[in-house]
Amino acid sequence: MLRTAICDLLGIRYPIFCAPMGFVTGAELAAAVSQAGGFGILQAGSRTPAALRVEIGRIRSLTDQLFGVNFIQHFPHDAGVDVCLEERVGAISFFWGDPRRFVERAHRQGVRVIDQVGSVEDARRDADSGVDIVIAQGFEAGGHVAGTVSTLALVPRVVDAIAPVPVAAAGAIADSRGIVAALALGAQAAVLGTRFLASLESTAHPEYKQRVVSAGESDTVHTTLFNREWPGAPHRVLRTPFVERGDVSGSEAIGRLSLGKDQVPLFAGTSIPPTSATTGEIDSMALYAGQGVGLVNQVQAASEIMRDLVAGAERILASLGAGA
């Protein structure tokens, strides 16, 4: 049976997280994954505290299951964290920074703390300060990449270093085989980003989803090209003619993003991926994807993705004699 101690910790049915994806994971995707028994994590993004509260309310109108909210610590986030603690969401999740100062306050409100790291050192720091779940992110991962070590090598090292603190594995896990492999490495959950990017509920631009569906395992690049709003932060994107040229010097806008009433101009090298609210040169923007992208062959409803992942993982576990 596909169940681990993390399921009890978070009150979820299956140890599958939908990775928070900036500009791509909104209320619909987070709610659909939680509703299907996984753990959906909203990306707080640049929302004002009031807008974040509205988005949390939208998730709650779509599901009565628990969900998380994610913050990238490179960007301002204190006010958003306050909203999440007042709203008592299931978990607050962090990336790219030290989460220690939030732990005690979150626990007082009954909110779990999740942090994503790319090294054993950062995992130890988190575990020592009471972080509830550490996500070990391998170098294969899509989006921004914290470390340099592959998922297969990093996850068991982190598991051993911080036991009994539960670890979730991220990076190129895109089907049920990857989920079972993550459990075999000692992780108690798998975190999937790229696979859920190609869901009906993700707000990625339709051309971006199509590129993900048609890409193979060698079609991604680890780069710092798209660093306009977030300098020096390495990331993994699909290889496109724009990425091959590597020229972000142009001063003309290459597209626009509708954010409420505002039309935000986007320039070459923007770290904002194209969404359904983006117009312009979609293929010249950051098409974040992990090396598991070759395993993503269609755009599906998130509930269908969850159903396939769970059924496949349970089949594999049964064939291995697990839980017999």
Ligand X SMILES: Cc1cc2nc3c(=O)[nH]c(=O)nc-3n(C[C@H](O)[C@H](O)[C@H](O)COP(=O)(O)O)c2cc1C
Q: Is 70 in the site for ligand X (CB under 6 A)?
A: yes
Query: d(Cα 293, Cα 174) in Å, to the nearest integer?
Result: 7
Amino acid at 259: L
Q: Is 272 in the site for ligand X (CB under 6 A)?
A: no
Task: Dihedral sign for Cα 73, 74, 78, 84, please.
Answer: negative
The position carrying tokens 């999440």 is 84
Write the binding mask 206 to 245 for ligand X: x where contact by CB under 6 A, - elsewhere: ----------------------------------------
Q: Is 178 in the site for ligand X (CB under 6 A)?
A: no
Closest CA to 147 of 233, 270, 18, 73: 233
Query: d(Cα 146, Cα 267) in Å, to the nearest integer?
Result: 24
Query: d(Cα 243, Cα 168) in Å, to the nearest integer?
Result: 31
Q: Given the complex with ligand X, which of 51 and 322 has the nearer CB atom? A: 51
Q: Given the complex with ligand X, which of 231 and 321 has the nearer CB atom? A: 231
Q: Is the distance from CB of 188 to CB of 163 less than 8 angstroms?
A: no
Q: Is 143 in the site for ligand X (CB under 6 A)?
A: yes
Q: Is 139 in the site for ligand X (CB under 6 A)?
A: no
Query: d(Cα 321, Cα 324) in Å, to the nearest integer?
Result: 5
Q: Given the complex with ligand X, which of 36 and 141 has the nearer CB atom? A: 141
Smallest distance, ligand X to C-beta of residue 324, A: 30
What Å distances lie between residue 102 and 48, 99, 129, 171, 191, CA to CA? 19, 6, 10, 25, 22
Side-chain-side CA neighbours of 294 within 13 Å: the count stands at 8
Contact pick of 113, 154, 173, 272 for ligand X (by CB under 6 A):
173
Q: Is 189 in the site for ligand X (CB under 6 A)?
A: no
Q: Is the distance from CB of 69 to CB of 44 less than 8 angstroms?
A: yes
Q: Given the complex with ligand X, which of 35 and 203 has the nearer CB atom? A: 203
Smallest distance, ligand X to C-beta of residue 295, A: 10
User: Which residue stretch of 4-12, 188-196, 246-254, 305-313 sits at the interface with ligand X (rule: CB under 6 A)?
Assistant: 188-196
Closest CA to 254 of 281, 220, 224: 281
**Residues β-bridged to residue 191:** 17, 170
Residues 9-28 that bind ligand X (CB under 6 A): 19-22, 24
Smallest distance, ligand X to C-beta of residue 185, A: 15
Q: Is 92 in the site for ligand X (CB under 6 A)?
A: no
Contact pick of 194, 227, 271, 284 for ligand X (by CB under 6 A):
194
Q: Is 197 in the site for ligand X (CB under 6 A)?
A: yes
Q: Is 77 helix (H, G, I), strand (E, B) or coil?
A: coil
Q: Given the complex with ligand X, which of 35 and 199 has the nearer CB atom? A: 199
Task: Dihedral sign for Cα 307, 180, 9, 199, please.
Answer: negative
Residues 6 or more apart whose Cβ sits within 8 Å of residue 138: 118, 147, 149, 150, 151, 152, 153, 154, 155, 169, 170, 171, 172
Q: Given the complex with ligand X, which of 222 and 322 has the nearer CB atom? A: 222
User: Which residue stretch of 3-11, 123-131, 283-291, 315-323 sits at the interface with ligand X (rule: CB under 6 A)?
Assistant: 283-291
Structure tokens at 299: 């755009």
Q: Is 72 in the site for ligand X (CB under 6 A)?
A: yes
Contact pick of 14, 67, 95, 242 for ligand X (by CB under 6 A):
95
Q: Which residues bind to ligand X, rule: CB under 6 A?
A: 19-22, 24, 43, 70, 72, 95, 116, 137, 141-143, 170-173, 191-194, 197, 273, 288-290, 292
